[in-house]
Structure 1
Amino acid sequence: MEKLIFSRKGFDSSAGCGYSPYDPETGKYVVLPIPETEKREAFRYRDLTLAPDALPGIHPASMYELIQHPALRYSSRAKAASKGKAHYDPVLGRPEWLKAGPDYEVFGQSGAAAGHLHGHDTGIGSLFLFFSRFRPLPGRLHKLDPDAGWSEGVYFIYGWLRVGEIWTVPDEVPEEVRRCHPHGPAESFRKKNNTLYAAASELFPGSGIPGSGYFPRLKPELQLSSPLHKNRPGVWKLPAFFYDEHYRPTYLQKEENWLRADEEYYYVQSSARGQEYISSLDTESTAWIKQLFQSALT
């Protein structure tokens, strides 16, 4: 069955000791993958080298140098983690901020989160919208500018993957993915529910939009956090149809956590630790997706 999944991925306060950086003036951003906690072959943060213009005003050579940069004020825990390996997933092609790294188009999941996806019939044709919490680069906007006020970070959708294939056994996995992806090696399939989702060729047939990718800039259309609830980034503003029982995402089921904002939107308190918020990919959500991409890619 086709599902629409809001999938939380990237640095956060528990897994990565901070949030990924973005420039509120230009919308440029870098998604920092969480640290790898298992003993396996993986990209080091030093290996993930950055384009010279990845972020305005600072010019780190790698993700390691980015996390170590004094202007970004990452914690000592984050800086220690940056000396090790990264759990680089999802990979949605090569983002414009990276000079080196993988360019396949695959997302992996295992354990309870994968079981949640399986239990809700997440199949071929389903669409993942990946989101993360971003913190604005300091000093880029006037201190009174409202867009500079997200000191606790702000949630944005940053990428997507339309599922074209699903791999659940090692023999199905291409060699590069098996070698480089954290869920690709044969030993990863010893974990319960280990699953890899590979991208379709297009977002929608005839759309000309790739089946996976990163949005070039973080625009207001991609912001999940409610603009009226600054520094409560877990309060989201969603189109009103998501309140309908048919579309209401998993982990957001309680009616008391929803408040109508106006005829077109609701506020909703998101879950602190939910990874995969699963909705239906049906008439209204498909129309919203098409409008979202039209705005975000122009």
Structure 2
Amino acid sequence: MVAVRSLLQNAFMKLILSRKGFDSSAGGCPSPVFPDGSFYTLPIPDSRSRITYGDIRHEGLNVGKLVADLTGDRRGGARKAHLDPDLIADAYPRETGWRPCLGQTGAAQGHLRKQQVGEGDLFLFFGLFRDVEKQGRCWQFVKQARPFHGLWGWLQIGEVYRIDELSDSDLQWARYHPHFHGQPDGGNTLYVASDALQLGGRSTGLPGAGVFGGLEDRLRLTAPDAASTTQWRLPRCFYPDSADTAMSFHGNLARWSRDGDDCTLRSASRGQEFVLDTIEYPGVVSWLREIL
């Protein structure tokens, strides 16, 4: 039986729905969806970071100007940004050897450790978004547009490092990262992307980390007619068999209901990392193949 489970662990992995980017509490507003359907996930503020919003570029846009427009903060471009997860190579000047990565610490990292998240497991990032439009030279939110939660990127774990245990010569390419510039913390962890994404033990032909091109309906978590952004619609394969195997933070089965081929979830408003073991929910791997 142990051998069978070991084989399953090689074929399946843990999926982490990971909340990242601006929202009402971190940054003060949603991230923008542009008129052409593309989007950008705004990194949250971080006074200890060495990166300003004005240092970051996205498709020719100065992210500092974008932050200033959408928040109404004229000094937005000079404020420090927590560029994490860092998935886009040309967003910021890179050292040789750079790889996409994610840092985590504190209670969120403690939860990932408790859930035994490690190499081969998959972060699927979600955030809060809202449509924007250009008014003159400035970006603004479309008044009638409602915010929603959407999936925006992924990172499959290739390597895991405890940052405080690294020597000064280790991972020189990562020294810009904000998790190298906080207070000493034994739990401070860097997750580095794998070279290629594998699902169910098979190659997908995709890189180990990346960002979706747009937020199509298949990537929207908030149900179409929901009164709240936290009212999600998910494929039926997420519906929990029991409280013990449900996605973490969502073991209260009263949060869930069946809805035809889908299910609805009153998602937790707190918590960053929602972990699901796909050994228990193999249909989720099939769903991942459809959206990635």
The TM-score range, normalised by the shorter chain, is 0.7 to 0.9
Q: Counterparts of 2:252 and 2:152 in 1: how far apart (Å)?
A: 26
- 1:46 matched residue in structure 2: 54
Q: Counterparts of 1:240 and 1:66 in 2: how far apart (Å)?
A: 37
What TM-score, normalized by structure 2, do the two folds share? 0.82
Superposed displacement of residue 212, structure 1: 0.3
Tell me which amino acid in the other structure corresponds to 2:161: W
Query: Please, which of 23, 27, 30 is the counterpart of residue 40 of structure 2?
Result: 30
The alignment-based identity, stated in percent, is 32
Query: Please, which of 172, 191, 197 is the counterpart of residue 191 of structure 2?
Result: 197
Query: Please, which of 245, 267, 276 is the counterpart of residue 270 of structure 1?
Result: 267
Gaps of 5+ in 1: 53-60, 141-146, 294-298
Q: Counterparts of 2:75 and 2:265 in 1: how far apart (Å)?
A: 35
- 1:284 matched residue in structure 2: 283
- 2:6 matched residue in structure 1: none
SS in 1 for 2:53: coil
Query: Please, which of 193, 215, 222 is the counterpart of residue 218 of structure 1?
Result: 215
After TM superposition, the structure 1 = structure 2 runs for residues 1-298 of structure 1, keeping only pairs within 5 Å, are 2-23=13-34, 26-38=36-48, 40=49, 42-52=50-60, 61-69=61-69, 72=70, 74-76=71-73, 79-94=74-89, 98=91, 100-102=92-94, 104-138=99-133, 150-151=145-146, 153-168=147-162, 169-171=165-167, 173-177=170-174, 179-184=175-180, 190-204=184-198, 205-229=202-226, 231-244=227-240, 245=242, 248-262=246-260, 264-282=261-279, 283-293=282-292
SS in 1 for 2:66: helix
- 2:4 matched residue in structure 1: none
Contact 2:68 2:76 in 1 (8 A): no
What TM-score, normalized by structure 1, do the two folds share? 0.80
Contact 2:239 2:263 in 1 (8 A): yes
- 1:296 matched residue in structure 2: none
- 2:138 matched residue in structure 1: none
Contact 1:243 1:258 in 2 (8 A): yes
Gaps of 5+ in 2: 1-8, 136-141
Superposed displacement of residue 82, structure 1: 4.3
Superposed displacement of residue 17, structure 1: 1.0
Q: Deviation per CA, 1:175-203, whole angstroms, max 9, x where unpaired?
A: 011x2111135x65x21411111111111
Q: Counterparts of 2:93 and 2:275 in 1: how far apart (Å)?
A: 29
Superposed displacement of residue 206, structure 1: 2.9
Q: Counterparts of 1:150 and 1:257 in 2: how far apart (Å)?
A: 26
Q: Counterparts of 2:191 and 2:121 in 1: how far apart (Å)?
A: 10
Q: Counterparts of 1:232 and 1:269 in 2: how far apart (Å)?
A: 9
Contact 2:65 2:76 in 1 (8 A): no
SS in 2 for 1:123: coil
Q: Deviation per CA, 1:143-187, whole angstroms, max 9, x where unpaired?
A: xxxx98542x1111100001111101223941011x2111135x6
Aligned CA distance change for structure 1 residues 104 and 148 (closer, same or farther; 3 Å)? farther
Aligned CA distance change for structure 1 residues 157 and 253 (closer, same or farther; 3 Å)? same
- 2:5 matched residue in structure 1: none
Q: Counterparts of 2:15 and 2:156 in 1: how far apart (Å)?
A: 9
State the Cα RMSD in Å: 2.4
Q: Counterparts of 1:278 and 1:220 in 2: how far apart (Å)?
A: 23
SS in 2 for 1:92: coil
More strand by share: 2
Q: Counterparts of 2:208 and 2:17 in 1: how far apart (Å)?
A: 16
Q: Counterparts of 1:155 and 1:130 in 2: how far apart (Å)?
A: 10
Superposed displacement of residue 138, structure 1: 4.0
Superposed displacement of residue 75, structure 1: 4.5
Contact 2:22 2:128 in 1 (8 A): yes
